[in-house]
Amino acid sequence: MADLTIQVHEVNGVAVLRPEGFINAHTVRQFEGAMEAQIHAGRFTLLLDCRLLNYISSAGLGAIMGLIETVRENGGDIMLCSLQKNVREIFDTLGFTELYRVFPTEEEALRSLNGTI
């Protein structure tokens, strides 16, 4: 398996990105490019489904932070779901769980949008 694969699907205007593997200095451009492609396609609400994500480095966190202003200025958001324990600890330690909405499952995250999807 490659270091990182990213499955992307759309649910009623929400881009759901499911990274699998490791987001680090070697794979961050791929991750950032996948998010940017959704923004360029006009999808400003991104859901990062992390169920298959084994690790995210500070470079990956920086990629998320680098796009949050753009999506929020366009009425969207970046949400997280299905964090594995070790990935959640990284997000917790750096305060990302205070900055972003985190949900147990993709379904709960999409339901939270209260009819906006």
CATH of the domain at 66: 3.30.750.24
Flag whether 111 is in a domain: no
Q: pLDDT for 53-68, tens place per residue?
A: 999 999 999 999 999 9
Please state the pTM of the whole predicted model.
0.93
Question: Is 116 within the bounds of a domain?
Answer: no
Question: pLDDT digits over 39-58, tens only?
Answer: 999 999 999 999 999 999 99
Domain ranges, residue 15: 4-105
Q: How many domains does the chain have?
A: 1
Phi/psi-derived region of residue 98, left when phi > 0, alpha when psi is between -120 and 50, beta in every other case: alpha
Residue 82 is assigned to a structural domain of this protein:
yes
Residue 17 domain flag:
yes
Residue 98: strand, helix, or coil = helix
Answer yes or no: is 28 within a domain: yes
Q: How many C-beta neighbours within 10 Å does residue 77 have? A: 16
Q: Would residue 27 count as lying in a domain? A: yes
Give 15-42 as a 3 state SS string: EEEEEEEEECCCCHHHHHHHHHHHHHCC
Residue in the structure block whose two tokens are 């680098």: 66
